[in-house]
Amino acid sequence: VLCTSSSTAATKSKMIIASFIMHATMVATASAFSFPSQTTTLQQLQRHGQQQPRYNVILTPSSFSSSLVVLSAGADGTDVDLEGLKEELTAYLKKREEMNADEAAKEQIGKIVGGTKGNAVLEFVSGSPNKEYKIEEVPNAFDYDEITKYGYGYLVKPIMNAGGRRAMYKLMNMPEPSISTRLTKPKSARKLVIDREGKEDKARYSGLKMTQMLDDDAMARALMEANEKAKRGESLRKKLLEEEYEMPFADKRNVGPRQTPDWTPEKIDEANRKRGEALEWARRARDGEFRKDDDERAAVEGSLRIYASIACLFVSFAFGRSTPAALSLAGINASGEGGLLLDILQVPALALVAAGIGSSIVSGVVLAPGKNRSSLTWFLKGLLGGPLAVLKLRELERLKTRGESQEE
């Protein structure tokens, strides 16, 4: 920040020109600038095709009695208003002090965060957001998590552009804290050593020795321990050394649900019982199904189709509107002999319609349920096939279930 104070506008202009000449030796061209009423910005300086940091010269004159020139440049070429950022950080520090943030942070020391964070859903789907760790120290004032926590998350990007959170301590004239030991402490992992001789890996060469096998008391104790472990659902076999090895940086809390349960005799019996019940239910359901035959298909075939075709043609001829015109073409007077013929034909046509309706009721409602057959299928067959459908249904046998067929 360059502060210049003068009683005349000429002195102010000289100071601005002097600051511009300091950078003129580093560039090939420079842009001219003017003095607006409130704010003046120097255009971007370029040097033979290479992008230079952009500097903003902000004048805040009050009747040209005093001027404040602020020079700032971000790492990515974006401008940062350091004065505005300083005001926001001052408000943040004030709010942090009002909330007694340091004392609240001290109460969190020793707490384990990360991992599943006790979320039942995350534990079930194994969706850990980050590796768990233990809070060992109070966070710094300008940590991005702290800034976001107190509602000033919009300052994170400007802080990054202004040099990062550690540069803010210099801006606010505050002592810079030391780097957290959690970040500087080197990571280490236990080296995997597979014991091929059984010196340290007791599970690889477990069991009773020959002399112990001859001792009845030692054998009895071993059997009792095995039975107790089986009742508790514990594995009778110790884990090998490589099975207990923990992968570096692995989160043991962040594991998926068990795919294979710990089988015990009680659990195996329970699983077999449930499996037997399911198979028995499926068998009963299958035995209760009726065996179908070709007559249960919703199709009008054979004699029923012939009857339905003749009945439809007869009824359409007797009641059709085009029948008088057809008789006139054949030389029969529709009003005389033709009209009498139609009156005669309409009587058996009505009988066919009534026979179809009656046959459908007898077939679908009376006969089909007693023979364990589909009422809807035989209702349609009776409507189209008439009395022939009733006769055919009487000749059919009662449908049997799969269980009855197997017993026979």
Q: How wide is the angle at C-alpha 396 spanned by C-alphas 390 and 398, nearest 5°?
A: 115
Q: Does a structural domain hold residue 164?
A: yes
User: Which residue among 286, 306, 323 closes a domain?
Assistant: 286
Give the tens place of pLDDT for each residue, 380-393. 999 988 899 999 88
Shared domain for 310 and 372, answered yes or no, is yes
Q: Residue 374: what pLDDT?
A: 85
Shared domain for 301 and 398, answered yes or no, is yes
131 or 59, higher pLDDT: 131
Of 313, 303, 304, which Cα lies nearest the Cα of 360? Answer: 304
**Number of separate domains in the chain:** 4
Shared domain for 304 and 402, answered yes or no, is yes
Shared domain for 276 and 301, answered yes or no, is no
Give the tens place of pLDDT for each residue, 154-193. 999 999 998 888 899 998 989 888 887 767 777 776 677 6
Give the tens place of pLDDT for each residue, 192-207. 766 666 666 666 666 6
- Buried b / exposed e over 282-304, threshold 16 CB at 10 Å, is eeeeeeeebeeeebbeeebeeeb
Q: Does a structural domain hold residue 59?
A: yes
User: Which residue among 47, 69, 91 closes a domain?
Assistant: 69
Of 279, 191, 276, 207, which Cα lies nearest the Cα of 241? Answer: 191
Q: Does a structural domain hold residue 388?
A: yes
Shared domain for 86 and 145, answered yes or no, is yes
Q: CB neighbours (10 Å) of residue 364?
A: 23
Q: Answer whether residue 365 shows pLDDT above 70.
A: yes
Shared domain for 299 and 403, answered yes or no, is yes
Amino acid at residue number 40: T
Q: Answer whether residue 10 shows pLDDT above 60.
A: no
Of 57, 59, 26, which Cα lies nearest the Cα of 43? Answer: 57
Shared domain for 310 and 401, answered yes or no, is yes
Q: Answer whether residue 6 shows pLDDT above 50.
A: no
**DSSP state, residue 380:** H
In angstroms, the CA 122 to CA 126 distance is 5
Q: Answer whether residue 71 shows pLDDT above 60.
A: no
User: Which residue among 69, 91, 121 closes a domain?
Assistant: 69
Q: Answer whether residue 63 shows pLDDT above 50.
A: no
Give the tens place of pLDDT for each residue, 20-33. 554 444 443 333 33
Structure tokens at 106: 């001290």
Q: Is 396 exposed, middle or buried (0-12, 13-18, 19+ CB in 10 A)?
A: middle
Residues making up the chain, counted from first to last = 408
Q: Does a structural domain hold residue 150?
A: yes
Q: Residue 211: what pLDDT?
A: 58
- Per-state percent for the chain, helix, strand, coil, to nearest 5: 50, 5, 45
Q: Which range of residues forms the domain containing residue 28?
A: 2-69
Distances from the Cα of 12 to the Cα of 17, 61, 258, 267, angstroms: 9, 10, 76, 91
Contacts of 238 (CB under 8 A, 6+ apart): 202, 203, 206
Q: Does a structural domain hold residue 15?
A: yes
Of 321, 345, 325, which Cα lies nearest the Cα of 333? Answer: 325
Shared domain for 311 and 397, answered yes or no, is yes
Structure tokens at 249: 């940086």
Shared domain for 299 and 402, answered yes or no, is yes
Q: Taking residues 108-116, report their average pLDDT.
A: 71
DSSP one-letter string for 88-104? HHHHHHHHHHHTTHHHH
Q: Taking residues 65-79, report their average pLDDT.
A: 44
Q: Does a structural domain hold residue 244?
A: no
pLDDT range class, residue 74, cuts 50, 70, 90: very low
In angstroms, the CA 43 to CA 46 distance is 10
Q: Does a structural domain hold residue 275?
A: yes
Contacts of 33 (CB under 8 A, 6+ apart): 20, 40, 41, 42, 43, 57
Structure tokens at 65: 């009695």
pLDDT range class, residue 131, cuts 50, 70, 90: low
Shared domain for 402 and 301, answered yes or no, is yes
Shared domain for 100 and 43, answered yes or no, is no
Whether residue 27 contacts residue 55, with contact meaning beta carbons closer than 8 Å, is answered with: no
Shared domain for 108 and 178, answered yes or no, is yes
Distances from the Cα of 88 to the Cα of 73, 85, 145, 196, 200, angstroms: 18, 5, 16, 64, 61
Q: Does a structural domain hold residue 194?
A: no
